[in-house]
Structure 1
């Protein structure tokens, strides 16, 4: 039986949150099995919190040279993955993404042959051509009078393996999302049985020990119970305090439950908060209701390995202010550690600001 604290320390260790490590950017992203990239800056903050001597240019270069690709992936949301991991995961998620298209845009694409739409999108993006989502939607709608161009453009990212090339996804870069076909990655249209098994192994290596429901919550993929059953003989099996069955890879490290955990600032949608059906591994239900509001997941502060606050940065030239909003009273030592880490984060996010200020509010 593994306690909640033991499970918390395990995910902190595997997600590189117990100590900053010396890893290259691509190797770190593979170790973490992807970074949420709904907007451009969160992956940078995620790596800053985990790596020694990390600089903005380190991740930007990996995106520019296509070592890392940004695409609609787990849970039908934007993620950064290495090319080999994209090649592994995208076919496994194909059915999920088709369902996401139906759920989000099915009523706006009634009467549209989706296979034909995907084929035309492949043609428009052939030979390395890049189009923004609005441009692609307009071209697809030109041959379909009365069609919803916006819905057509969005649908392509669910129907076809596309990536969003640089400068999209790089620090502070916003605007229309560019689409490029991902055929250059060698991605296959359909997964093999071994692809699904390998995805489960990689998930457990990055987030285990975990339940079948946890893996489903992280990926959005159904039918994983049978996969876990097939892998059972090669996995370690535990139970949590509620008696739920947990699985892990044989080499999975379980740090001591009393191991100290440093203060860490996580960006919005950071993976450890979303990788489990039971999110109390990282926060109480009361805290979760304030962190996960609708489709949003706030940037958070970990204190002793659990979510203790949210944070935000505001810029009023020439100064930058980082505001921390605790959920509980912090000790004198905890306040000092939070303020020190906040100052370091401001030096990373706003190095050109004339001044840096940390506002640590009273608990809500």
Structure 2
């Protein structure tokens, strides 16, 4: 009979593999690869995601990786924008094509009926390889050639059918502006690593499952599918079962894992942490209760898909946080008053004890020193909202 892992055991296993029990002994690029990317539809979350897992990380380190094309931003797992290594961009994007196709059909299928998608895709490839373009530009250019079609839907065809990466300055710390895109092949100077044959495709799916378990396990097939957006992964897990350890959760659901992966005792101390908005820590399982209780889920995840930055206490989500920055042109501190200072707002969902509050304040001060060093030098500001 497989061993039963309770919620605390699953929590500690997840935190250990996510390097949230202790900082990772990795470079930023290595950590991006280990995590199989960071969700990145907004600019700042990947920076906070690396900050929370690395000692002495600075925004310039990730910005340099983007400018050197060592990491890129593009649509991958669940069809959402992820920051991944260049190698993962080229190898994972073909595996996740069906996820992008499904998203396109679900959102725009009726508006694309009867359209020659292959011809449109090749026209779009020429446009974005001529120079990086925004979706608004692409919609306008393609709309002039297909006047009976919705320009936004035409641009989304390219997002789904081409491996479009967002080029800098998009993704750089404290940058702004619309995302401009070109193909991964053009940007990286290498072709996508398309599977050679069905056996190669099967082997790649197996490697993807093993990488997921190394970072998010122990996990169920439903968890795997939630993280990736892929379906029919039960067959992949069946092929891998001789190589996997098998457990059950408290509800009796089967969980799979790498035999050698860390599974700390549920009583292992977990430090207070501030976790990035949109962090895959919260998004990579069908059953998120190993880190986020169902009672708190509506307080963290909005109906329109916003996922707040979270406060972890004893390994579990216990509140949310946000960084409020002064408006452009206003000083971060001084005569303009307290409201013009960069501030980390922490809202616990229940009262914190003295030690928990002190630890949360220390983490917030550390985050402010990372995100707003000038403000931190003038004196950090942390505010706790009442539960």
Greater Cα shift, 146-155 or 208-217: 146-155
CA distance in 1, matches of 2:129, 2:58: 34
1:341 aligned to which of 360, 363, 367: 363
Q: 2:46 aligns with which of 39, 43, 46?
A: 43
After superposition, residues 119-158 of structure 1 pair within 5 angstroms as 119-126=122-129, 129-158=131-160
State the shift of 1:189 in Å.
4.8
Partner of residue 211, structure 1? 220
Which runs of 5 or more structure 2 residues have no equivalent in the other structure?
333-340
Shift of 1:355: 4.3
Of stretches 353-362 and 158-167 in structure 1, the one that deviates more from structure 2 is 353-362
Deviation of residue 305 (structure 1)?
A: 0.4
Supply the distance in 2 between the matched residues of 1:22 and 1:61 (Cα, whole angstroms): 19
TM-superposed CA distance for 1:107, in Å, is 3.0
**Matches of 2:374 and 2:136, distance apart in 1:** 34
TM-score (ref. length: structure 1): 0.96
Q: Is the 2:218–2:256 contact (alpha carbons within 8 Å) kept by the matching residues of 1? A: yes
Say whether the 8 Å CA contact 1:134–1:176 is kept in structure 2. no
The question of whether the paired residues in 2 share the 8 Å contact of 1:101 and 1:159 is answered with no
Among candidates 310, 316, 321, match of residue 311 of structure 1? 321
Rounded to whole Å, the distance in 2 between the matches of 1:21 and 1:100 is 34
The CA RMSD measured in Å over matched residues stands at 1.5
Residue 85 of structure 1 pairs with residue 109 of structure 2? no
Map 1:1-364 → 2, pairs under 5 A: 1-126=4-129, 129-183=131-185, 184-189=189-194, 192-294=201-303, 295-316=305-326, 317-318=331-332, 319-353=341-375, 354-363=378-387
- Secondary structure at the aligned position of 2:238 is classed as helix
Distance (whole Å) between structure 2 residues aligned to residue 174 and residue 199 of structure 1: 33
Runs of 4+ in 1 over 6 A off after TM superposition: none
**CA shift at 1:38, angstroms?**
0.9
Residues 83 and 185, structure 1, Cα contact 8 Å, conserved in 2:
no
Q: Which deviates more, 107-116 or 173-182?
A: 107-116
CA–CA distance in structure 2, aligned partners of residues 330 and 217 of structure 1: 32
Local SS of the residue matching 2:282: helix
Deviations 1:230-268 (A, max 9, x none): 111111111111111111123211112111111111121
- Count of paired positions: 362
